[in-house]
């Protein structure tokens, strides 16, 4: 092998080393720059959807108990109402400005942000009513008229907000 071909090989080898280093550096940079997890907006959407799923699953029984389709049970009623009272805490910061992600990430309508004052009013009323509901359920201790009225009223909050601010 003559000197020039040795040089050429050296050049190729060192060139490859540079490329490898470059790749390693860029993949390191990508790892270093990759966000630690989902964005704050995405987490807000996940939290509200999770909270609403649990609220819905906890509330469903009340509808059945109020109609007489499920037998009333005091312990069951108290447990479910207290869960709903707690779960609404997750809605405090669940609709930040930048979390209007649209479908498929979210089923919240853009109107929840454009009609902000009305949406927040409905949300605040729902949170207060959900906490009052817990108290009413504890006081009524049965499928009384008061219990049925409270269930219907909280159910109206769900429907009232969904009709305006939730996609089907």
Chain residues binding ligand HEC by CB under 6 A are: 45, 48-49, 52-53, 55-56, 59, 106-108, 112, 122-123, 126, 154, 157-158, 161-162, 165-166
Closest contact distance (angstroms) between CB of 37 and ligand HEC is 18
Residue 108 or 143 having the CB closest to ligand HEC: 108
End-to-end CA distance of the chain: 75
Angle at 55 between CA 39 and CA 37, to 5 degrees: 15
Closest contact distance (angstroms) between CB of 36 and ligand HEC is 22
Residue 102 backbone class (left: φ over 0; alpha: ψ -120 to 50; beta: rest): left
Residue 20 or 124 having the CB closest to ligand HEC: 124
Residue 107 or 148 having the CB closest to ligand HEC: 107
Token digits for 129? 């009513």
Residue 59 or 147 having the CB closest to ligand HEC: 59
Closest contact distance (angstroms) between CB of 103 and ligand HEC is 9
Residue 112 or 137 having the CB closest to ligand HEC: 112
Q: What is the number of other CB atoms lying within 10 angstroms of the CB of residue 161?
A: 17
Burial 20-58 (b: 16+ CB within 10 A, else e): eeeeeeeeeeeeeeeeeeeeebeebbeebeebbeebeeb
Closest contact distance (angstroms) between CB of 12 and ligand HEC is 55
Closest contact distance (angstroms) between CB of 166 and ligand HEC is 4
């Amino acid at each position: 092998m003559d000197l020039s071909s040795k040089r050429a090989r050296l050049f190729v080898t060192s060139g490859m080393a540079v490329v490898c280093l470059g790749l390693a550096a860029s993949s390191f940079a990508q790892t270093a720059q990759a966000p630690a997890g989902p964005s704050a907006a995405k987490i807000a959407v996940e939290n509200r959807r999770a909270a609403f799923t649990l609220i819905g699953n906890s509330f469903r029984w009340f509808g059945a108990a109020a109609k007489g389709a499920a037998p009333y049970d005091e312990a069951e009623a108290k447990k479910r109402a207290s869960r709903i009272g707690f779960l609404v805490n997750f809605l405090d910061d669940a609709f930040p400005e930048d979390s209007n992600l649209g479908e498929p990430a979210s089923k919240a309508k853009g109107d929840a942000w454009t009609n902000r004052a009305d949406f927040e009013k409905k949300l605040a009323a729902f949170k207060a009513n959900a906490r009052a509901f817990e108290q009413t359920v504890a006081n009524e201790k049965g499928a009384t008229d008061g219990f049925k009225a409270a269930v219907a009223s909280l159910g109206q909050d769900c429907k009232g907000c969904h009709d305006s601010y939730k996609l089907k």
